[in-house]
Structure 1
Amino acid sequence: MSAEVFKVYTEQNPPYNFLENGKVKGQATLLLEQLFQKSGHTIFENNIYLLPWTIGYHEVLNKKNTMIYSMARIHEREALFQWVGPIGKMTLGVIAKKSKHMIIASPDALHSYKIATIPGTSTEKALFDIGFRAEELDRFANLTSQLKKLKENRVDAIAFGVEAVWQLLREMGNDLSEYEVVYVLKESDLYFAFSKETNTKLIAELNETLKTLLK
């Protein structure tokens, strides 16, 4: 296959992808750079765009030679993208302050609380799957906004990848012992997601190359 140039999007989701000193870093970022280097493909302008999830998602849905990571591969997205991976796992959960004393014996109990989400994420979709409606949720563009509201007690809980929440809470100077996972929504495999028009042979080659990197 001839070398291609891809415009690459991601979001703040440590430890897989995050911004550090103005550069996008993380486990998945390093793996993507290694994958492209080994396969001969390049990142447009050598720049990864860290944007709110809904913006990057929309770009990859509608434009050729684009990709986004790290994306949970769920049924509703299966036919919308070409997939390379898996590249990791993520626990999707609901996190709250221990001082809230939230005891969630069943999914229905979550409806009693104000929960913050990021629109279009697999975590929000997992809440929809257990009966939530968009108007019930406090929806923010990014995880940092969620965590600030949680710290200030302006929401009862947030729903996102548990690993990312712990890392950002730590970076923001919070005491992790004050927080807990009150409900696990699901476990998801993470992937590199390419625009639907991407050549299937190229995707197959990337998957084969990825296997050699993950050995």
Structure 2
Amino acid sequence: MLWINRFGGMFLVGVLLLSPLSSAAARGESITVLTEHSPPGEYIDDQGRVTGPTAELVRELLQRVGHTGKISLLPWARGYMLARRGPDVALFETTRTELRENQFKWVGPIKRITGGLFVRTEDDVSLTSLEDARNLDAVCVYRGSSGGQALNAMGFTNLEEPTHSAQCLDMLMHGRVDAWMTSDIARVPLFAETPYSENEVRLAYATSTKYLYIALSLDVPDSTVALWQDTLDQMKLDGTLARYYRGTYPDDMIEALSQPGHPDLPWLD
């Protein structure tokens, strides 16, 4: 599966939390909640506060279940190691995969990222497979992206490779390319920098869909996981998730995530 990685941050921001509802609090210990620095979802503002729509969603989730906390910064490798080892660690936003399935307990999803080929909404472009894209006059991938590298490795000869992804959007809207390899999340901030609107571009073919979760260390009690999941589901139903995400993330992603429960994951069949 193809995936375009636009996030280069390799640090984690930790929130040290105390909860009367968790086994950690019962033992006088703390639950540590970690997040990668990954704008626009999570970043540190000028006052040193962790913010961003996903961070604020999780912060409200924690408040609703009775947690309060202090923010700390950790390197990515150490944060992931702590989440694997425990005790009482939660890490967001973590892609839920078959390989990771039994390494954590899961609460979510809190984000969905779809990568693929995007085209102008007005154009009559239909793609039923990635191979169909070979027949297009030109496909834009920004230079050095993993998606571009994958298409080059597959022998695509119709690629345009500018140095910035915003150039791909401009080339697409001016008809210089037929399709743009990106993700629904990666493309959204670019519209704020251009005169174009999100509804002028549509997904023609999806190459990957990933669901991101809060991953909890295996020692966290099932009752705590259930409490977090039930609370998150209620936040989806009462419009809290949509309130935080609207204006930053794609509308179709928000609509899909606003439904409680888990998506169909093939390895769980």
Instruction: Please indicate the TM-score interval, normalised by the length of the shorter structure.
Output: 0.5 to 0.7
Gapped runs of 5+ residues in structure 1?
50-54, 138-144
- Amino-acid identity (%): 15
Letter in 2 for 1:183: Y
What residue is the counterpart of 2:64 in the other structure? 38
Q: Tell me the CA shift for residue 33 of structure 1.
A: 0.5
Q: Out of 11, 32, 40, which is 2:38 matched to?
A: 11
Q: Is the 8 A contact 1:84 1:193 kept in 2?
A: yes
Q: Please tell me whether Structure 1 or Structure 2 has the larger radius of gyration of its CA atoms.
A: 2
Gapped runs of 5+ residues in structure 2?
1-22, 84-88, 156-162, 172-176, 238-269
TM-score (norm 1): 0.58
Mapped to 2, the partners of 1:133 and 1:158 lie a distance apart of: 10
Mapped to 1, the partners of 2:73 and 2:124 lie a distance apart of: 40
Mapped to 2, the partners of 1:7 and 1:187 lie a distance apart of: 23
Mapped to 1, the partners of 2:42 and 2:195 lie a distance apart of: 18
Q: Is the 8 A contact 1:96 1:158 kept in 2?
A: no
Structure number with higher strand proportion: 1
Q: Tell me the CA shift for residue 171 of structure 1.
A: 1.9
Q: Does 1:25 align with 2:52?
A: yes
Structure number with higher helix proportion: 1
Question: Relative to 1, partners in 2 of residues 1:76 and 1:149: Cα closer, same or farther, differing over 3 Å?
Answer: farther
What are the equivalent positions in structure 2 for 1:58-137 lying under 5 Å apart? Answer: 58-64=77-83, 65-69=89-93, 71-95=94-118, 104-110=127-133, 113=139, 115=141, 132=150
Mapped to 2, the partners of 1:111 and 1:86 lie a distance apart of: 34
What residue is the counterpart of 1:213 in the other structure? 235
Bigger relative contact order, structure 1 or 2, given CA contacts below 8 A and separation 6+?
1
What residue is the counterpart of 1:182 in the other structure? 204
TM-score (norm 2): 0.49
Mapped to 1, the partners of 2:134 and 2:202 lie a distance apart of: 18
Q: Tell me the CA shift for residue 200 of structure 1.
A: 3.8
Q: Report the aligned-residue RMSD.
A: 4.4
What residue is the counterpart of 1:52 in the other structure? none
May I ask how many residue pairs the two structures share in their alignment? 183
Mapped to 2, the partners of 1:214 and 1:105 lie a distance apart of: 32
Q: Is the 8 A contact 1:84 1:206 kept in 2?
A: yes
